[in-house]
Amino acid sequence: MMPMKRKIAATNLEAAEDRVTHAVVHLISEVKEEFYTYQAELQLEQRLNLIIQADQAAVDLAKSQHEAGNINEAAYINIQTQMAAPRLALAEEQKRKIMTREKLNRLMGLWGVEIEWTVQPSLPELPEHDPSLANLEELAVNQRRDLLAQRKDVDSIGQALALKTNTRYLPVQIYIGVDTERESDNQRVTGPILDTELPIFDQGQGEIAKLSSQYRHAQNVLKALVIRIRSEVREERDTLKINRQQVLYYKKEVVPLNVSSVNQTVLQYNAMQVSANELFLTKQRELDTERDYIEAWRDYWITRAALEEAVGGSLHPAKKQP
């Protein structure tokens, strides 16, 4: 029985190691998500500062026009009020940046001088091509460590069930010791004794039924986990495709159109062909577009990290050793 028990214990240890590895992969994914979020916040902060600088130029122009008598007091105050939106957005972004940075410090276990780290203040460019998204389900089924751990649980319970079934008729308990007895002639005799309990009525039926139930439950959990993993991979894979399309559309179409619209509106405003309110609405659309673009860009990288976690750590299948 000892070799079988050692084999069961080794299987349980391997399952525990797989679960630890899966937890590490999940932690890596969490760090990546917050890292990309922090980079996006830094990038948006830079863009907001540029917008605020441009708005300040517009306010200075309005001040000159007001002093020259080209616009009245109400129009001048209206321009100053409308240009406050980017400053308020910047303050909110700075608060979010602080919270994200501290969450990263907690995830990475940093304190003291270690928290003085810096990162590139912009998201990485999208790769020219994503890795092949074909066969990712099979890749996940083969390398997800939580799935490997559940398979080992099924094996371990199956081995325990087989061991109990094959040894059900062995003595349940054996006791070896020394005892002293009094003989009929009042002489005391000391010698070894062997006490054993034979499985005449209790042949382990209850334990076998319990292990059988646990085995079926473990198999059902394994089946459900496979279904969930395949679904997670499909969800993240399809979301990654859409995120990539969104980022490219913002970059090639939406952002250039908004920049052109703002430039034209500023020229028309300077020529007094549009109102200050129309200029404000155009600037507000620019701000919203910048935020949406950077968030879509951030979501691409976050989704890619989630897809890596869903397949078990790498989008590239390991090469087989010759």
Question: What are the tens digits of pLDDT across the range 225-246?
Answer: 999 999 999 999 999 999 999 9
Q: Distance (Å, rounded) from C-alpha 307 to C-alpha 28?
A: 12
Question: What are the tens digits of pLDDT across the range 269-287?
Answer: 777 777 766 777 787 788 8
Q: Quick one: pLDDT at residue 244?
A: 95
Question: What are the tens digits of pLDDT across the range 35-54?
Answer: 999 999 999 998 888 878 87
Please give the structure tokens belonging to residue 306. 């989630």
Question: Which residues, other chains included, contact 283 with Cβ-Cβ below 8 Å and sequence gap of 6+?
Answer: 51, 55, 82, 83, 85, 86, 262
| Per-chain mean pLDDT for the chain | 83
Percent of the chain surpassing pLDDT 70? 84
What is the fold, at CATH topology level, of the domain defined by 2-168+203-311?
A: Outer membrane efflux proteins (OEP) (1.20.1600)
Please give the structure tokens belonging to residue 302. 């976050």
Q: Please count the CA atoms within 13 angstroms of the CA of 264 that sit on its side-chain side.
A: 6
Tokens 């034209």 belong to residue: 264
Domain ranges, ordered by start, for the chain: 2-168+203-311
Question: What are the tens digits of pLDDT across the range 186-221?
Answer: 666 656 666 666 565 555 667 788 888 888 998 999
Distances (CA, A) of 200 to 172, 196, 227, 246: 10, 12, 45, 73
Lowest mean pLDDT segment, chosen from 4-8, 42-46, 123-127: 4-8
